A = this chain, B = another copy of it.
């Protein structure tokens, strides 16, 4: 990998998401060598992926080149690589570009879509965990509309215009809202020959309410907003299978749809190599102690989505969101420095700053620890928070500009099929990460 062996201890961080980035930033310009590995050369601002998928933002404005983030940092190395295996005994990781030894290992690989072992669902539904995947969804929505124009078969057309989102968490809710706004403002103008009433947006949720982690108020208001926007919300309904054509559920309802987006579950993106006991079975997250140390490993840490730290308040680990990831990354950097000096590390305590979701224009729900509110002001707060969380001035400015434009003009101009998704024989994106 051509990384020099120095007298400094080497910290290898796997993953440049919220957690990995926070850890790497905290270790800057210390007496350490930091190696950051990621399979992309950019950081992805995942909370806005749904806007890329629905033509509201260009992909480049929610990505930030990882190298640039560390341009002026000494003893820092980035490598574009995928880690395939961890050998904790020899303190070494194997990657797509060779192996690398470490003194401290930080696993910050985040999460991947959880299909719960259903290969049919995995094969036929769309995921939305990365920029390429969001672009695939964007292309597919538009390609289906183009195709719907061509058929005279009403059943076929209805299927092409039926969008099913499985999962009523923030991703599902935000995507359903954005699609509903496309249906309202954009698609009838772009496709005047199509009867827009044929377009359906179905949001299927297994639980008895949307946005399970949020307040009852937020959950009910979000559902209300969605229904007003024309989304069909199905609760207490579980998807059992999808063959690319028909969705079967545990209820009496079946759905014929060409586009199914699977937002019903995530799991930790754990890596091969550590003993089975290190990983929580169902969620594939690493069991960590209060210092984010992986069970039985002194110098292997896991942070963010891939870590499961059980505590009294969070018996199943912290929510898989940006905030715990950032806070764990920051603390871990400090703890590694303490550990190096032989001092006692500090335990992690999650500072819950609240959570929020946006459903559409002037429609959002916000749960702060002491205040819950919904509507226009919530939407405004959502925008400000997301704008300021984006990395880089250019990204902030471009996103702001797009939002202003979209708001004033009721438009989403990046509805471009730059990389077609269909015709998999020609373009194979099955391995998109």
A contacts, CB < 8 Å to B = 1-2, 40-42, 58-61, 63-65, 67-68, 71-72, 77, 79-80, 97-98, 131-132, 135, 142-143, 146, 149-152, 189-191, 193, 392-395, 397-398, 401-402, 405, 411, 413-419, 426-429, 431
Contact = CB atoms under 8 A, between A and B. Distances in A.
Contacts of A419: 132, 419
B393 A405 contact: yes
A41 B428 contact: no
B416 A67 contact: no
Judged by DSSP, the binding face of A is mixed
Task: Tell which of A59, A60, A72 has the most Cβ of chain B within 10 Å.
Answer: A60
Closest 10 CB pairs of A and B: A58-B60, A67-B190, A60-B414, A71-B189, A58-B58, A80-B146, A42-B416, A394-B405, A41-B417, A394-B413
B60 A190 contact: no
Given A58-B60, A71-B189, A431-B426, A416 B150 contact: no
Contacts of A68: 189-190, 411, 413, 415
Contacts of A79: 146, 149-150
A125 B98 CA distance: 29
User: What number of copies of this chain does the assembly contain?
Assistant: 2
Contact of A41 (B61, B393, B394, B416): B416
A394 B143 CA distance: 23
A409 to B, nearest CB: 8
A390 to B, nearest CB: 12
Given A2-B149, A132-B418, A416-B42, A398 B392 contact: no
B394 A60 contact: no
Contact of A428 (B61, B98, B428): B428
A417 B60 CA distance: 10
A420 B150 CA distance: 32
Contacts of A428: 426-428
A268 to B, nearest CB: 24
A274 to B, nearest CB: 26
A139 to B, nearest CB: 9
A58 B59 CA distance: 8
B152 A2 contact: yes
A152 B3 CA distance: 11
Contacts of A405: 393-394, 397
Contacts of A431: 426-427
28 contacts: A1-B150, A2-B193, A40-B416, A41-B142, A42-B417, A58-B398, A60-B413, A60-B418, A63-B418, A67-B189, A68-B189, A68-B413, A68-B415, A72-B189, A77-B193, A79-B149, A80-B146, A80-B417, A132-B419, A392-B413, A393-B405, A394-B402, A394-B411, A398-B402, A419-B419, A427-B427, A427-B428, A427-B431
A63 B348 CA distance: 47
A138 B398 CA distance: 20
Tell which of A98, A142, A151, A416 has the most Cβ of chain B within 10 Å: A416
Contacts of A1: 150
Given A40-B416, A41-B146, A393-B405, 19 more contacts: A1-B150, A2-B149, A2-B152, A40-B417, A41-B142, A41-B415, A41-B416, A42-B416, A42-B417, A60-B418, A63-B416, A63-B418, A68-B415, A77-B193, A394-B402, A394-B405, A394-B411, A398-B401, A426-B431
A418 B150 contact: no
A40 B428 CA distance: 18
Nearest to A130: B418
A135 to B, nearest CB: 8
A3 to B, nearest CB: 9
A212 to B, nearest CB: 32
Nearest to A151: B2
A67 B191 contact: yes
A418 B41 CA distance: 8
A431 B135 CA distance: 19
